Amino acid sequence: MRFIISNILLVLTFVSSHAQTKGVTPKPVIRGQQSVVSSIYAVVVGISDYQDPAIPDLRFADKDAEAFANYLRSDAGGNLDNDHLKVLINEQATVAQFAIALDWLMEVVKENDQVILYFSGHGDVEKKTITQPGYLLCWDAPARVYLAGGAMALPMFQDIITTLSSQNKAKVIVITDACRSGKLAGSSVGGSQITGANLAKQYANEIKILSCQPNEYSIEGEQWGGGRGAFSYNFINGLYGLADFNKDGSVSVFEIGRYLEDHVPAEVAPVSQLPMILGDKSAMLSQVDDQLLAEVTSGKSNQIVTLSPIESKGIEEQILMTLDSSTRILYQSFYTSLREKVFLQPSTKCADYYYNQLIAKKELNKLYSSMRRNFAAALQDDAQQVMNQFISGDREIFLHTKDGWRYKFKRYPSYLARAAELLGEDHIMYSTLQARRCFFEGFLIALENENPNQEAGNLALQKFNEALRWQKDLPQVYWQISKLYGYTLIQADSMEYYALKAMDLQPGWVIPYELLAGSYLWPFSMPEKAKYYLEKAATIDSSSSDIKNIWGMYYSYISDLDNAEYYYKKAIQLDSLMGGPYINLGILYVQKAQYDKAIPLFSFLIKKYPSHEWAYRNLGTVYFIQGRYSESEKLIRKSLELDSNFMETHIRLADLLFQTGRIKEAGKHYIKATQLNAFEPYTWYHLMLYYLYTGQTTLAEKTINHAINLDSTKAIHWVAAAHFNLQIGNILTADIQLEKAFSLDSMLAELYSEIAYLRIKQAHFEDAIVQSKKSLKTYPGNYMAMIYLAIATTKLNREQEGINWLEKSIQNGAMYPILMALLELESLRKLKEWNLLINKYFSGKVKD
């Protein structure tokens, strides 16, 4: 019969009063002893990948061994060099090499030396001889008949321990981490329990620390150090100093026992695992190195709380052998559903259904706890990964569309609620799971309402605040609250406060700074604040494509188009998968009237991201400017189909409808845009122009007054008001309003084109030309500036130049209703070239 022992760590401590050996840091005096350590020697063995395919491989035995070897190489563990430390991992750990290493210890160890022996791998007992205490299986062990070789008998191993302890006068510490993973020959007669009980016996004055009680199973999983045993992971952290409760700079057996008892049972719950301590509790195990302890503490403080599946194959296989075939099939169906993530639906073919059937069977009672934990772990795993991805800035998660996020996240709240229910209120993960449930509920609400919306914003905020009541230190929640204040509730101070709160909890997390930089550009129009946070973000990650992209947005905002183009291209070079820099570069080319460069970019993005609405909208905009109305409409309506809540898409469709004579339908979409985002000033600007140039003067005036009352700090509102007053002849009022706009934003392209219109009204045509060209320098595609150039040059009797500017304005999207309504274009309308241009670009609009 055989059983499994994984991670048998034997620390054989030899205590004396001699000086240290060269290159090895001595241990201090063990309390109650009169001697000090002379030299330290260690053998570390870890086997996960066995030679014989019939012996089940382990998952983390080798990792646990390597972690312990690294501890021994550290200042805290003794600074062992290769002359004092032998490490045998996987195929290196043959029985011959293990025996040679043990013989080496017997040869080199002297009185007062310290010896550390660590074994991590399988253990078993022969099936035919139940009373024998078992074997340690080395890499080359056979699948059965261990007497044939490849395995070391425990009596021999114990004899070496006893000899070193008694004959060499050593203090022996045996630390055992038995994970029992996999079915071996001794499983049917309780080999695991037999060997555990034998290891717990004391033959000399050695101290023994066992990972669990003889009737329990040692648990391992991904949540401990990315893949470790729960006992080994906490044991080594304790040795580094986390177990130094009295802060005296050393860790005793009593302290490590208390630390393990505090952490292991809670972390593996609802499975039972309680480490076992035998021997002198006052003996000291390690000295604390302050720098190493600080590194361990820092790593744990930034660690996200996790829950992972556990391995308990030994007991599982023993129990399954006793079950009828229908129960085994049900059990297999349960775990198949977990692997395939079929958790709660369909109601009679999902993990939840199979779980409820299985826990009603008394013969499975020993597996209840592992089934419950593994079910809970599977339910929350995807949500946990997303939380991790938000912190790491993983591109995969940020490439999703709103529909992609909605589809991916919509099940998470019910999964997390069920996971919390399975574990119960007393479990250490209960509050975390409830907090994450509330986080994703809030996230989904906010996702549907990224336009300013007080009601929806407050509803999402309630969910985020509930998440914080469950767990107050979740940086992802503060980040989302910050975003909510930035885009939905429109409160800059609160946005900044919560973003910085997220940074306090997760130092080095660049995304909150990126959020602040982007939001201060839009919707808050505060470029200096945006620049400040961009510079802060660059100190964290100077090579981030996101940061380069926002730098491009910043330079575009301040009308430095060359620098903007440079940063967009740099962002694309750094990360060719992100769509944002492509879109922004394409928009920049539209702004510069370089449509031949914009079209390939948007076309490329449609092929690369066919479910993203922005590529369709922007290509449709270019086609609209070029007069390709049928193609434009198909693309813009496709964008609207993908996301009907984006205000800019409604404006683009309204422009197209207005241009093509569908006036009433255009008005509906202009109004819809203001309803979706009342804080975006250009929505009101477009609606005012629509009313003004369809003869609805009263509504135009009400619209612009409402916009100014809503936010009087937006320069474009005052520019729109000035345009309205210039149209109705209130030149003095318009002049005052343009001065106000200048004081708010002296770089706004529309400001200078409207000053040009004022100069035309004042008959200052030369200055009108100067102001129009200023506007075009900032915004080369501004068709209104081109219209004013056409008017001014014609007034100066430069008619051909006027016709050229008129055609250029049409080529850049000039609206037909505006061309027909502007009184100042009357002199151009009398020219034969006018009808030629109108027929060329607006076919059917002019009769012969």
Asked whether residue 364 falls in the same domain as residue 262, the answer is no
Kindly tell me if the per-residue pLDDT of 811 is higher than 80: yes
- Report the alpha-carbon distance of residue 535 to residue 543 in Å, rounded: 12
Mean pLDDT of 272-281: 87
Q: Domain tally for the chain?
A: 4
Tell how strand 85-89 and strand 135-137 pair up.
unpaired
790 three-class SS? helix
- Among the ranges given (42-51, 478-487, 795-804), the one the predictor scored with the smallest mean pLDDT: 42-51
Q: Phi first, then psi: what are they for 509, rounded to 5°?
A: -85, 115
Predicted pLDDT of residue 105: 84
- CA 542 to chain centroid, in Å, comes to 19
Asked whether residue 355 falls in the same domain as residue 226, the answer is no
**Minimal CA–CA distance to 130: which of 209, 189, 58?**
189
- Report the alpha-carbon distance of residue 391 to residue 512 in Å, rounded: 10
Instruction: Give residue 554's domain range.
Output: 508-577
Asked whether residue 318 falls in the same domain as residue 279, the answer is no
| Domain boundary residue, one of 516, 544, 577 | 577
Whether 246 maps to a domain, the answer reads yes
Predicted pLDDT of residue 145: 74
- Among the ranges given (152-166, 280-294, 500-514), the one the predictor scored with the smallest mean pLDDT: 152-166
Residues whose CB is less than 8 angstroms from the CB of residue 572 and which lie 6 or more positions away in sequence, other chains included: 545, 578, 581, 582, 585
**Minimal CA–CA distance to 696: which of 737, 724, 677?**
724
Predicted pLDDT of residue 129: 56
Single-letter amino acid, residue 325: S
User: Which is higher by pLDDT, 761 or 231?
Assistant: 761
Average per-residue pLDDT for the chain:
87
pLDDT band of residue 665 (cuts 50, 70, 90) is very high
Whether 796 maps to a domain, the answer reads yes
pLDDT band of residue 11 (cuts 50, 70, 90) is very low
Predicted pLDDT of residue 40: 85
Mean pLDDT of 442-460: 87
pLDDT band of residue 25 (cuts 50, 70, 90) is very low
48 neighbors 102 (Cβ within 8 angstroms):
no
Predicted pLDDT of residue 21: 39
- Among the ranges given (149-163, 291-305, 756-770), the one the predictor scored with the smallest mean pLDDT: 291-305
pLDDT band of residue 618 (cuts 50, 70, 90) is very high
pLDDT band of residue 179 (cuts 50, 70, 90) is low
Asked whether residue 215 falls in the same domain as residue 108, the answer is yes
Q: Phi first, then psi: what are they for 444, rounded to 5°?
A: -65, -35
Kindly tell me if the per-residue pLDDT of 153 is higher than 50: yes
Kindly tell me if the per-residue pLDDT of 32 is higher than 50: no
Asked whether residue 220 falls in the same domain as residue 348, the answer is no
- Among the ranges given (123-137, 265-279, 410-424, 562-576), the one the predictor scored with the smallest mean pLDDT: 123-137
Predicted pLDDT of residue 177: 74
Residues whose CB is less than 8 angstroms from the CB of residue 94 and which lie 6 or more positions away in sequence, other chains included: 138, 139, 140, 150
Kindly tell me if the per-residue pLDDT of 344 is higher than 80: yes
The half-sphere exposure of 583 on its side-chain side, counting CA atoms within 13 A, is 19
Kindly tell me if the per-residue pLDDT of 463 is higher than 90: yes
Q: How many helices (H) and strands (E) does the chain have?
A: 39, 14
Predicted pLDDT of residue 192: 55
Asked whether residue 324 falls in the same domain as residue 213, the answer is no
**Minimal CA–CA distance to 37: which of 62, 6, 14?**
14
Asked whether residue 227 falls in the same domain as residue 337, the answer is no
138: domain CATH number is: 3.40.50.1460
- Report the alpha-carbon distance of residue 505 to residue 603 in Å, rounded: 41
Whether 715 maps to a domain, the answer reads no
How large a percentage of the chain has pLDDT more than 70? 88
- Report the alpha-carbon distance of residue 364 to residue 368 in Å, rounded: 7
- Report the alpha-carbon distance of residue 766 to residue 754 in Å, rounded: 15
**Minimal CA–CA distance to 495: which of 473, 468, 474, 521?**
521
| Domain boundary residue, one of 351, 378, 405 | 378
Whether 41 maps to a domain, the answer reads yes
How large a percentage of the chain has pLDDT more than 90? 58
Kindly tell me if the per-residue pLDDT of 4 is higher than 50: no
Burial of 528 (0-12, 13-18, 19+ CB in 10 A): exposed
Whether 734 maps to a domain, the answer reads no
Predicted pLDDT of residue 404: 75
| SS3 of the chain: helix, strand, coil, percent, to 5 | 60, 5, 35
pLDDT band of residue 178 (cuts 50, 70, 90) is low
Burial of 725 (0-12, 13-18, 19+ CB in 10 A): buried
Kindly tell me if the per-residue pLDDT of 243 is higher than 90: yes
Asked whether residue 34 falls in the same domain as residue 179, the answer is yes
Whether 723 maps to a domain, the answer reads no
Whether 644 maps to a domain, the answer reads no
Burial of 361 (0-12, 13-18, 19+ CB in 10 A): middle
Asked whether residue 67 falls in the same domain as residue 151, the answer is yes
Mean pLDDT of 822-836: 92
Predicted pLDDT of residue 400: 66
pLDDT band of residue 186 (cuts 50, 70, 90) is low
What b-and-e string marks burial along 682-710, b requiring 16 or more CB atoms within 10 Å of the CB?
bbbbbbbbbbbbbeeeebbbebbeebbee
The two structure tokens encoding residue 177: 């981490």
pLDDT in tens, 428-441: 899 999 999 999 99
Predicted pLDDT of residue 308: 72
186 neighbors 144 (Cβ within 8 angstroms):
no
Predicted pLDDT of residue 284: 85
| Domain boundary residue, one of 346, 378, 410 | 378
Predicted pLDDT of residue 303: 59
Tell me the Ramachandran region of residue 628: left when phi exceeds 0, alpha when psi lies from -120 to 50, beta otherwise.
beta
Angle at 840 between CA 837 and CA 845, to 5 degrees: 85
pLDDT in tens, 368-424: 888 999 999 999 999 988 998 898 887 777 766 677 778 889 999 999 999 999 999
467 neighbors 442 (Cβ within 8 angstroms):
yes
Whether 837 maps to a domain, the answer reads yes
- Report the alpha-carbon distance of residue 323 to residue 76 in Å, rounded: 49
Predicted pLDDT of residue 19: 32
230 neighbors 218 (Cβ within 8 angstroms):
yes
Residues whose CB is less than 8 angstroms from the CB of residue 535 and which lie 6 or more positions away in sequence, other chains included: none
Kindly tell me if the per-residue pLDDT of 201 is higher than 80: no
Predicted pLDDT of residue 14: 32
The half-sphere exposure of 686 on its side-chain side, counting CA atoms within 13 A, is 29
- Among the ranges given (181-195, 506-520, 585-599, 621-635), the one the predictor scored with the smallest mean pLDDT: 181-195
The two structure tokens encoding residue 697: 């003067």
**Minimal CA–CA distance to 744: which of 708, 771, 714, 778?**
714
Asked whether residue 514 falls in the same domain as residue 369, the answer is no
Asked whether residue 282 falls in the same domain as residue 358, the answer is no
Predicted pLDDT of residue 311: 63
Predicted pLDDT of residue 210: 82
Angle at 788 between CA 783 and CA 792, to 5 degrees: 150
531: domain CATH number is: 1.25.40.10
The tokens 């795993």 sit on which residue?
Answer: 381
pLDDT in tens, 603-612: 999 998 898 8
Single-letter amino acid, residue 122: H
The half-sphere exposure of 618 on its side-chain side, counting CA atoms within 13 A, is 27
| DSSP at 448 | T
| Cis, peptide link before residue 346, omega less than 30° from 0 | yes
**Minimal CA–CA distance to 740: which of 760, 761, 755, 759?**
755
Asked whether residue 128 falls in the same domain as residue 35, the answer is yes
Residues whose CB is less than 8 angstroms from the CB of residue 457 and which lie 6 or more positions away in sequence, other chains included: 446, 449, 484, 488, 489
Mean pLDDT of 58-63: 88
pLDDT band of residue 114 (cuts 50, 70, 90) is confident
